[in-house]
């Protein structure tokens, strides 16, 4: 259907929660994601929920992050971290693996690839040095 949102394609609330929780489990597990993992808090429970809330709105579902935390600027939330191409790519790799693990279709993955890359690239903190 033309008006299906990515949020719906990923299985709505339950599907997206599964994806974001799996995402941080992957980050926690993969040695290749160690640098990015180490930038995060020891306990990933609250950020699992925050990524779920954020992506819910970003993917065309309910604007949960805004409703619960106000209109937080996601860019400024990342300024304090040192995010270059390597960190961006580790983050994106975790998302790729998580999408596979939740069984996202090839169409869904293809549709998300560019926009997710642009979002992650936008959060880089080394842009002026690139
Ligand atoms: C598409 C890309 C990304 C999205 C949608 C995203 C989303 C988020 C969200 C929603 C939060 C929680 C903000 C809050 O607490 O209010 C967060 C925090 C964070 N993000 Fe990202 N992020 C992205 C990319 C990255 C990348 C590339 C890195 C690289 C290291 C990163 C590192 C972090 C860290 C370290 C935190 C803080 C975690 C903590 O306090 O434990 N993020 N991100």
Q: Residue 121, Cα to own-chain centre: how many angstroms? A: 12
How is the chain split into domains, by residue range?
8-122
Q: Contact, 22 vs 102, CB < 8 A?
A: yes
Protein residues with CB under 6 Å of any ligand 1 atom: 36, 39-41, 47, 50-51, 54, 69, 72, 74, 77-78, 81, 83, 87-88, 91, 116, 119-120, 123
- Tens digit of each residue's pLDDT (9 = 90 or more) over 59-108: 999 999 999 999 888 988 999 999 999 999 999 999 999 999 999 999 99
Structure tokens at 4: 């299906």
pTM tops 0.85: yes
**Percent of the chain at pLDDT exceeding 90:** 87
Determine contact, residues 123/54, Cβ cutoff 8 Å.
no
Q: How confident is the model at residue 128 (pLDDT cuts 50, 70, 90)?
A: low
Nearest atom in ligand 1 to the alpha carbon of residue 36 is 30
Q: Per CATH, the architecture of 8-122 is what?
A: Orthogonal Bundle (1.10)
In sequence order, the 6+-apart residues with CB closer than 8 A to the CB of 117 are 92
Burial-class residue 117 by CB neighbours within 10 Å (0-12, 13-18, 19+). Answer: middle
């Amino acid at each position: 259907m033309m008006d299906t949102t990515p949020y719906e394609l990923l299985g709505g609330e339950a599907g997206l929660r599964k994806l974001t929780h799996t995402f941080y489990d992957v980050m926690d597990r993969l040695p290749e994601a160690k640098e990015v993992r180490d930038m995060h808090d020891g306990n990933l429970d609250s950020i699992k929920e925050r990524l779920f809330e954020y992506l819910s709105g970003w993917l065309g579902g309910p604007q949960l992050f805004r409703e619960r935390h106000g209109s937080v600027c996601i860019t400024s939330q990342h300024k304090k971290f040192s995010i270059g191409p390597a960190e961006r790519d580790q983050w994106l790799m975790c998302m790729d693996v998580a999408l596979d693990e939740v069984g996202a279709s090839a169409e869904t993955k293809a549709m998300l690839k560019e926009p997710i890359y642009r979002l992650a690239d936008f959060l880089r903190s080394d842009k002026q040095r690139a």
